[in-house]
Amino acid sequence: MIPLDISMKKIVIVEDDQVIRESLKEFLEINGYEVMAIESSIDLLQKISSFKPDILITDIIMPDKDGIEIIIETKKYLPNIRLIAISGGGRIDSESYLNTAKYLGADATLKKPFSHKELLDCILNLTK
């Protein structure tokens, strides 16, 4: 287990792919984080209001509301939350989506597929 910065302990994952969502949740919990994993971004702010996450990890391409909308909405209502955008692409390459996410307020981006270590490094860099 890698030592954590205990100032950031709560993470929300918004990912429509169940395998990815559960894999990330399990890995982060093993590393000491409290994790809320959400399949759908509908009513996201309402779902996480009592959880009070430090970091939100969102996929970009999802069926109900895309990650770009989530980033804009979240930054508006929770300006201090750290955001990580993840994407494997869609109609355009993932780099374009991730560049847009970064421009709109994502603190970090990861292109799928990424390793658990890359994700953990990204989270730890956000706590510096």
Each residue's pLDDT tens digit, 11-59:
999 999 999 999 999 999 999 999 999 998 888 888 898 899 999 999 9
pTM value is: 0.89
Can you read off the two tokens belonging to residue 17?
């792919």
pLDDT digits over 46-80, tens only? 889 889 999 999 999 888 888 899 999 999 999 99
Q: Which residues contact residue 91 at a Cβ distance below 8 angstroms, ignoring those fewer than 6 apart?
A: none
Burial class of residue 79 (count of CB atoms within 10 Å of its CB; 0-12, 13-18, 19+) = exposed
- Amino acid, single-letter form, for residue 54: D
Residue type, 123: I
Q: For the chain, which domains are there? A: 10-126 (3.40.50.2300)
